[in-house]
């Protein structure tokens, strides 16, 4: 039997207590820093469309209104900037609800293949503008049933497919692959665009992170799309992966639980153990 040393025991307890308090203080400091950075980022992102819209409207009020051509052009530009501000506010709201866990997931069986073809129809205009072909593979698969929150999964697929069209090559291809395993389906959104340089790959899921700032803003992105995708998939207990090769393209992929377990044994997609 070891002799107990009361002083050592008290010292140990104090040490554990101080370490715990220090950790709490560090955590609070981190949160405070995050809050300040977030506010700075948000104000910066708001400023751009507000200043632009203000500029067009004030120029009109200062006399440009009399020129019919300028009037129309400036009003369209002011409206566009206000529209992007609206998208930004909506995306921020979704992101903050996801981060605070305020959004309740409503997991139901759903056909992700049908969801994908519906999204293709919604994005037909921007795909046609960029002469991009949209495909689902394998093309003879009639349905792919997974367990997911229908509205949130729609946001995920819409963001990934829209990005693939916007950042892929003009005249390129966007393919959504479904790889069914026994318990899981792997979903991959692939483009054959310029790709994402390696040093940016693990940062693109951060809010407001853009690889090419000016290009992304021209395209109309808020810089929040992939941060939202990551949160939604986390809430489905799964993770998003990205693979990219310069000039070969980019693939975003994730796994979802199958809604119905197939009786046919198929080992083509590896289920997580």
41 binds ligand ADP (CB under 6 A): no
Minimum separation from the CB atom of position 108 to ligand ADP (A):
26
Nearer of residues 196 and 256 to ligand ADP, judged by Cβ? 196
How many Å apart are CA 86 and CA 206, to the nearest integer? Answer: 21
Tokens at residue 26, please?
């560090």
Selected from 222, 230, 231, 254, the binder of ligand ADP by CB under 6 A is 222
How many Å apart are CA 84 and CA 160, to the nearest integer? Answer: 19
Nearer of residues 162 and 180 to ligand ADP, judged by Cβ? 162
What is the sign, positive or negative, of the torsion defined by CA atoms of 222, 225, 231, 232? Answer: positive
Interface region with ligand ADP, contact rule CB under 6 A, candidates 46-54, 95-103, 210-218, 256-264: 210-218
Cβ atoms of 165 and 129 within 8 Å: the answer is no
Minimum separation from the CB atom of position 208 to ligand ADP (A):
8
Selected from 211, 235, 243, 269, the binder of ligand ADP by CB under 6 A is 211
Contact positions with ligand ADP (CB under 6 A) in 66-105: none
How many Å apart are CA 48 and CA 62, to the nearest integer? Answer: 21
**Residue 261 burial by CB count (10 A; 0-12/13-18/19+): exposed, middle or buried?**
exposed
Name residue 54's beta-bridge partners.
none
* Residue 193 CB neighbour total at 10 angstroms: 23
Contact positions with ligand ADP (CB under 6 A) in 182-201: 191, 193, 196
Nearer of residues 88 and 259 to ligand ADP, judged by Cβ? 88
Nearer of residues 210 and 258 to ligand ADP, judged by Cβ? 210
Contact positions with ligand ADP (CB under 6 A) in 237-256: 250
Interface region with ligand ADP, contact rule CB under 6 A, candidates 20-28, 49-57, 161-169, 233-241: 161-169
Contacts of 143 (CB under 8 A, 6+ apart): 111, 113, 114
**Distance, CA of 242 to chain centre:** 12
How many Å apart are CA 100 and CA 250, to the nearest integer? Answer: 30
Selected from 226, 240, 256, 259, the binder of ligand ADP by CB under 6 A is 226
Count, residues near ligand ADP per rule CB under 6 A: 21
Selected from 134, 164, 175, 259, the binder of ligand ADP by CB under 6 A is 164
Contacts of 249 (CB under 8 A, 6+ apart): 168, 172, 190, 191, 192, 193, 195
Nearer of residues 210 and 255 to ligand ADP, judged by Cβ? 210
Residues at the interface with ligand ADP (CB under 6 A) = 159, 163-164, 167, 191, 193, 196, 204, 209-212, 216, 221-227, 250
């Amino acid at each position: 039997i070891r002799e107990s040393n009361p002083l050592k025991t008290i010292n140990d307890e104090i040490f554990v207590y101080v370490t715990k308090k220090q950790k709490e203080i560090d955590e609070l400091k981190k949160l405070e820093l995050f809050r300040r950075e977030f506010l700075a980022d948000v104000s910066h992102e708001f400023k751009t469309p507000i200043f632009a819209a203000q500029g067009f409207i004030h120029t009109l009020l200062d006399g440009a209104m009399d020129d019919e051509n300028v009037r129309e052009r400036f009003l369209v530009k002011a409206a566009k900037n206000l529209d992007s501000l609206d998208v930004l506010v909506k995306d921020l709201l979704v992101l903050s609800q996801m981060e605070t866990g305020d959004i309740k997931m409503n997991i139901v069986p759903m056909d992700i293949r049908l969801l994908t073809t519906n999204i293709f129809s919604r994005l037909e205009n921007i795909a046609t503008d960029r002469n991009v072909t949209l495909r689902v593979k394998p093309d003879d698969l009639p349905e792919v049933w997974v367990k997911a929150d229908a509205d949130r999964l729609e946001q995920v697929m819409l963001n990934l497919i829209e990005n693939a069209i916007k950042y892929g090559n003009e005249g390129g291809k966007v393919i959504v692959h479904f790889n069914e395993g026994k318990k899981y389906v792997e979903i991959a959104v692939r483009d054959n665009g310029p790709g994402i340089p390696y040093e940016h790959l693990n940062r693109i899921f951060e809010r407001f992170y853009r690889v090419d700032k000016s290009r992304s803003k021209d395209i109309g992105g808020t810089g929040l799309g992939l941060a939202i995708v990551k949160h939604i998939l986390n809430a489905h207990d799964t993770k998003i992966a990205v693979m990219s090769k310069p000039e070969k393209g980019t693939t975003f992929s994730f796994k979802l639980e199958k809604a119905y377990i197939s009786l046919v044994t198929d080992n083509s997609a590896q289920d997580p153990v």
